[in-house]
Structure formats: structure tokens, C-alpha cells
Amino acid sequence: MAVRANKLLSELNIGIATLESMLNTLGFKENYFTPNTKIPDDMAILVKAFGSRDNDLRRMVEIAAENGVYGNQKEVPSTLKIVGRMDLDALNAIDGKKISRHQLRDNQYETLTDIPPLVYSNKQTFWISELVLLSPNKEVNGIDIGSFEEANKQPLFSVLIGTNGAGKSMLMKEIVDFFLDLHACINGTEQRISSANKGRLKGISYHIDGSDCEVIRLEKNYFVRIDGYFRSLKELRIPAIVACHFGAFDKLPIQKVNGSAQTKYDVPYYKYVGAHVNGSMISSSAIAFRLLFALSEQMDDEQRKNICSILDFIGYDHRVSLSYTMVMKDKKDGALKESIAQRVEKDREYNRLDKKEKNAKTNQLYNFYKTKTASGKAQHDYDIDFDSDTTTGDTIDELRYIYKLKQYDLVNNSTNVIFHKRGSNITSEEMSSGEFDMLATVLSISAAADYPHTLVLLDEPELSLHPNWQMTLIDNLDRALKNKVCHLLIATHSHMIVSDLPMKRSSVIQAEKDENSNLKATTISESTYGWSAEEVLLKVFKMATDRNRYFGERIGKLLERMGNNTISPKEVRDELKELQEISMHLSDIDPMKTILNTIVETYK
């Protein structure tokens, strides 16, 4: 027995392209799929189960896994076959509406049902709600990230904690791949989409501009449900991604610089702002130069305030200088200009410019180079004073020319970015690791988060930071990202970062691997704002401090001596009195304090 596609369209209330894609992914393929195509009963039952509005995202992943979509050994039943086909020249009718097969194949008649119109809210909001993972043994786990209904165009923070080896960094990479492949699928560049069978992440639920979006990945296909209805991918609003890590061992995808082979990560909606370029770590001066250029691209009063705020925090003046030298070329003017023109032609940043605009860029760069080399100076300087509004117009253009000519190998790599501190000049290479990391992390993310909605992935930001600075990192990011619609997902081992999370705009997720090495996660229900270090370590990281261990050992020895009758009553009283004095400094939730109080009450 079989049912026609138009019956499923009506029951599931979805468009024909969505239904066809579902069937293809689940194993049913028909060269000329129309509303009158007959579908075997067992496949129709599977599609109805998968497409039911009663199933949440986790259940949808389970159904797909149970039916071999993610590379299971289970095959599509051999009895599955096409049981009906229409004449290719025939017209198909649904509810009295005639549509040609050409309209169907070109997806010009996608929605044949009464799905309510999708209306996003004018109030901009964005946060990740849930990640759905599938383990190698086909166990589905969900990670609840949070819900922030009271957010009002303020940055949101979710902190992911867990022991080394739990898989936090790899999870961040999978989030990047999930969204970038989703972008590619929508933009029609499916050839660059990787197989979903290699990663654990199969579904993401997020909230954007008043609507709840559920996106599930099946092989190289994506399906989206917005506010409970399956819809076309074209209707989906997607965040841009910013990834940041300044450590040596970076698992986040790295973008290529101009001239390198392009990868799927070299797209405008993904920005990597860490310490690597083309797979190798780069110098502090190169990072600072890149940062300076990024900031100049969107220099306004708000950006100046952000820069001055972080410079104040690390104790530097509101001025930055650039010292650089030009690479002297022996080429004749015509040959040099042609060389610049060739680099402009290949520059991905100028892909959308027409020939006239590219010629103008070539002339600007060539004229700037000639002016500098003809000055007779061996070294050139460029200054930015963030307290003034002179960093616009010609001065910003100059910085852009320097940056671009450096990419074209016409400015030496020995470019120095110089900071100023109470009359002293300090290059970026001479700054302490903590000073530079705080500056680079906060300002790099602030400059990169320039899309309407941004997901920021920040891996181990506490590296090189003093504990006092770790406690202020969230506050510095919060101020730098003010009025930006973004959600920061931060992987960290720092209890100091956890204790500074803002109330009602943050969540803490504890990740760990179970006995089968599957990633499991638990959301901390309480707000951690203002917690002491001991509270965070004990309640969030499940770790006793040295003071906890010392205290426990003393209680253990006391009980042992009392049990062996090797301690006098006076010694017991004295020891209990001293332990009570020590316990005054312990948190009320510390189990050692509870144990001591029980011993004291019992002894009395």
C-alpha cells in the first residue's frame, strides 16, 4: 500500500520541497517528485513521525539515528520501492490549483499548505537554547544552554566548564562547522559542506528576534522548524560566528590570508580573531596590527570609548603608534603598478568591485607607495589619538593602505605597534602576556561582532591572566559589547570568570564524559554572581580547595583519636574550638562546616 505525497503535505503542513528533501534523506528517492507521487506506507509512517510537531529536537535526532541517517549499519529495507509515477507532461492539481512539474522542480511552488506567515519581532534578540549531540553508539544527549527572555540588546554569557579532555574545544569547532555549513546550504554552495556523520552535533535550537528556531542536520541536508512549523531554509535568520583563542593549541577553525588557498571558513559571516594565521602562531605585533586595522574599519564614538576603557584598565595612554618601513622595489613604475593591480584582482576583499573600482584601488595603493618611498625616510610613523575624532577620513585611509600593502609584501614584516605608558614607549612585543591578552581578547571580539546577531565562541580566555584580571574579563567584555546583540559561549577552567557573570544574562553548564566517553552536561540552576572562590570551586567545579582538604584531614584525625580513646576530653574541646574558629571562614554550603557542626552538637 502507499499514500500520495499531497496527503502527507496536508497532514504535516509543510512545503513540497521540504517533503522531498526529507524523503531523500530518509532513503526514498524519486527522479520526478510531484504531489501525486506514491510513497510506501512504511516510509510515510517514518516521515510523519519525523515531521510531527509533537516531537522536540532531541526526538527528531533519535528518529533519524534509528533509521540509519547518520551512518548506522542499518540499511533502508529492500522492500522499499517506487510504486507510482506520473506522466512527465501531466499537470498536477492540489485543492483545485494546477501546477506544472517545472514549477515544482524549480521550487517555485514551495508552500502548498496553510502555514501562518512568519513575522520576526522588531526587538532584536539572539541566544543559543540547546545543542543536541549523538554519540557513536547512537545515544542522544541534549545540552541546555539557557533562556534569556529578559535580555534587552545586552550581551549574554554562557560558560562551559569541565575537566581536560571533556571535549569543550571540539564542541566549539563543531558549532562553527554546523552554522557555516548551514550558511553554505542556504547560499547554494553545497559542494563545500562536510558530512554530518563525522561530528557529534546534529541539532541546534536558538532564539532570534522573537522566534524559536530548531535546526536539525541529516547528512548534508538541513531542516528548520520555526515556532513549531517546518519552513524553507530561506526564511531562517542565522547568526554570524566570531571565534577567539590566544593559546598555542587552537582547535578553532583558522581563516587563510589573501593569497592562500581558500577554505570553507573564508567567508564574511565567520571571523577568527585568535593567535594563528594559516595554521601558525603569529607575533604580538602582527596581532596588534591586525587589531588596529579592524578597529579603524568601524571607528566611532562608541568604539573609541571601548578602546579607552580597556587601555585605562591595563594602565596605558589613549594613544597608539605604528612604526613601519617600505619594501624598496627595483621594478619600473609600470611593472610595479601592474604587480599591485594583479594583487588587487586576486584580493578576496575586492571580489565585488567592478573593473573601474579595482583600477581606483590600484591607483590609490600605488600612489601611496610612491609617496612614501620618495620621501627619503627609512622609517615612517603613524599615530592614533583615541581621545580625538581625527582618526577619520584621510588618516584612516592611510592605515588601510599600510595594512593592504603589508599583505602585498610592500611593507616590511618588522612593523611595530607601539603603546604609550606615562612617557614610556612599549611595543606590543614588550607588553606582558596578560596585558596583551586582555587587550587583544576584548577589542578583537568587540571589533568582529559587527553583525545584527553574533555568536561568540571564546576558548580558555583566562590564559596568561592574573586571577584579579580573570574576575574583570566578563565586565570588560560586557562594556565593550554594549548594545550589540550577541551571545558568548565561553569554555574555561577559571572559577574567577564564573563568579563575575551578570545576573539574568548568564548561564553555567558543566560538561563531563560518562563511562562510555559520551559528553553529558548539567546546567547550574543558580546565579553565580558574587560567589566566593570556594563556593564556585565546590558547587560548580565540584572541587575542594586546599583549605577544605586540610580541614577535612584535621576532622578525620580528631575522630580517629576519639575512637581510639587516645585524646583527653580537654584536648577534644580545644581542637573543636580551634576548628570552629577556622570554619568561620568557610562558606555556609561547605560540607566540612556541616560535618563539624554535627560533631560539636553530638559531643555536647
Helix (H/G/I), strand (E/B), else coil: 50: helix
pTM of the model: 0.78
The HSE-up count of residue 392 (CA atoms within 13 Å, CB side) is: 10
pLDDT digits (tens, 9 = 90+) for 369-415: 999 998 888 899 888 888 876 555 566 788 888 888 988 889 887 78
- Residue 526 burial by Cβ neighbours in a 10 Å radius (0-12, 13-18, 19+): exposed
State phi, psi for 28 to the nearest 5 degrees.
Answer: -105, 120
Element (H, E) at 223: strand 221-226
Name the residue among 289, 312, 474, 476 with its Cα closest to residue 386.
Answer: 312
The region, left, alpha or beta by phi > 0 then psi within -120 to 50, assigned to residue 210 is left
Beta-carbon-side half-sphere exposure of residue 511 (alpha carbons within 13 Å): 30
- Taking only the tens place, the pLDDT of each residue in 57-95 is 998 888 888 877 786 433 333 333 444 443 433 334 444
Q: Which domains does the chain have, with CATH numbers?
A: 2-105 (no CATH), 126-244+456-540 (3.40.50.300), 284-428 (no CATH), 546-603 (no CATH)
The rounded distance, in Å, linking the Cα atoms of 494 and 508 is: 12
What the block records as the C-alpha cell of 228 is: 513549531
What phi and psi values does residue 9 have, to the nearest 5 degrees? -60, -40
In sequence order, the 6+-apart residues with CB closer than 8 A to the CB of 428 are 284, 285, 287, 288, 416, 417, 418, 419, 436
Residue of 334, 122, 335 whose CA lies nearest to 211? 122
The pLDDT value recorded for residue 465 is 84
What pLDDT is recorded for position 393? 53
> Residue 255 and residue 264: Cα distance in Å, rounded?
9
Strands lying side by side in the sheet with 126-134: 140-144, 126-134, 201-208, 211-218, 221-226, 229-231
- 341 vs 356, 373, 395, 577, CA distance in Å? 12, 18, 23, 83
| Number of residues that make up the chain | 604
Residues paired with residue 133 on neighbouring β-strands, in sequence order? 141, 201
For 153-169, the pLDDT digits (tens) are 889 999 998 777 778 88
Which class for 27: exposed (0-12), middle (13-18), buried (19 or more C-beta within 10 A)? middle
Cβ contacts of 248 within 8 Å, gap of 6 or more: 275, 281
Q: Using CA atoms, how far apart are residues 382 and 397, in angstroms rounded to an integer? A: 12
Cα distances (Å, whole numbers) of residue 344 to 265, 292, 350, 396: 21, 22, 7, 19
All three cell numbers of 114:
496553510
Coil, strand, or helix at residue 334? helix
Contact 445, 456 (CB under 8 A): yes
pLDDT attached to residue 278: 63
The one-letter code for the residue type at 287 is I
The whole-angstrom separation of Cα 418 and Cα 284 is 11
Q: Are 415 and 406 in contact (CB under 8 A)?
A: yes
Q: Which three cell numbers stand for residue 66?
A: 534509528
Question: Do residues 506 and 157 touch, judged by C-beta distance below 8 A?
Answer: yes
Beta strand pairing status for 140-144 and 156-161? unpaired
Alpha-carbon separation of residue 26 from 59, 221, 488 (angstroms): 15, 11, 35
Write phi, then psi, for 351 (nearest 5 degrees): -55, -35
Whether 473 and 142 have beta carbons less than 8 Å apart is answered as no
CA dist 429 and 417 (Å) reads: 8
Provide the 8-state DSSP code for 235.
Answer: G
Which candidate, 472, 490, 483, 494, places its Cα nearest to that of 446? 483
Closest alpha carbon to 484 in 300, 352, 278: 300
Q: What's the confidence (pLDDT) of residue 113?
A: 53
- Separation of alpha carbons 360 and 354, rounded Å: 10
Q: What is the DSSP letter of 77?
A: P
Low-confidence ranges of the chain (pLDDT < 50): 72-112, 196
Residue with cell 574579563: 473
Whether the CB-CB separation of 520 and 141 falls below 8 Å is answered with yes
CB 509 within 8 A of CB 521: yes
What per-residue confidence (pLDDT) applies to 145?
Answer: 94
